[in-house]
Amino acid sequence: MPPIVQGLIKLALVAVVIFAAFKFHIGAGIGVFVLLLAFWIYKSRSAIYAQQGNVAYMKGDMKTALAKLEKAYQTKPYHPQHIAGYGFLLAKAGETDQAERVLNEVLSGQLSNEIRLQAQVNLATVYWLQGKQDEARDLLETVYETFKNTTVYGNLGYFKLLRGELDDALRFNREAYEYNDGDVTILDNLAQTYYLLSRYEEAAEMYAKAVDKSPKHAESYYYYALTLQKLGRLEEAAEQIGYAKHKELALITTVTKDQIETLAKQLEQEVEPESETEPEPVRDDDR
């Protein structure tokens, strides 16, 4: 039976019980309502902790977010989607071994396709951070064989790119682009593939589409700047590297802040001579 149907049946039963109690006596109705409310709060503790953790994370308070989600994890029964998210935050905090244990526990239960996919993608991320690149790619390849969506295309395409499998990455990321040509991760993957293959005009075209969607990570702007530099569009490149300097790096990346700073200084030096060059005034005796 679908979870939504189960939920509706439970809600209907609760309504019937409360209605019957009020029919019997108003005091009984109030008492039953209070007891059921207290029971609901008790059973919802995990979800409440998870919500508090999500709010803390949105505010940038990683320590509180992890503490609240740990409470959600320890409070049974928990909601698998909350714990799948907890696994990702553990990975982001560098606790990859704990993240792997948590995500494998989630995956051992009965899950909807959506939650299973979320947990598998997060586990693949954990594997990559642990240096188990083959396991990370193979897990997503297995998922891809049976289920295709934007998340799978984006993550698997990025792994192929980072592994240097450029011919396969090009084929796959083109397929991903055909599947969803409006997703920023897919656009970025294809753009970076073109860049690494020295196909700079095609890379610039894709990066222009990607940055129009305001990517949240620095890598998009960094590689767009490199692409524009290769094409001799130095002022545009300097503008893009300026954006990169103020963005966070992705969790999985080959780019460093030092590389961004180095490119920014290099472009600054390359742009200045162009802007400072002015035509000499024409003297009267030259006319």
- Chain segment 88-99, per-residue pLDDT in tens: 999 999 999 999
Residue ranges per domain, the chain?
A: 42-147, 153-271
Check if 42-147 and 153-271 are the same fold.
Answer: yes
Class of domain 42-147: mainly alpha
| pLDDT tens for each residue of 182-216 | 999 999 999 999 999 999 999 999 999 999 999 99
Q: CB–CB of 29/22 below 8 Å? A: yes
Task: Output the pLDDT for position 25.
Answer: 57
pTM: 0.78
Residue 209's pLDDT is: 98
| Predicted confidence (pLDDT) at residue 274 exceeds the cutoff of 80 | no
* 270 contact partners, CB below 8 Å, separation of at least 6: 229, 234
> pLDDT tens for residues 112-146?
889 999 999 999 999 999 999 999 999 999 999 99
Say if residue 283's pLDDT is above 60: no
Lowest mean pLDDT among 49-53, 111-115, 258-262, 270-274: 49-53
153-271 belongs to which homologous superfamily?
Tetratricopeptide repeat domain (1.25.40.10)
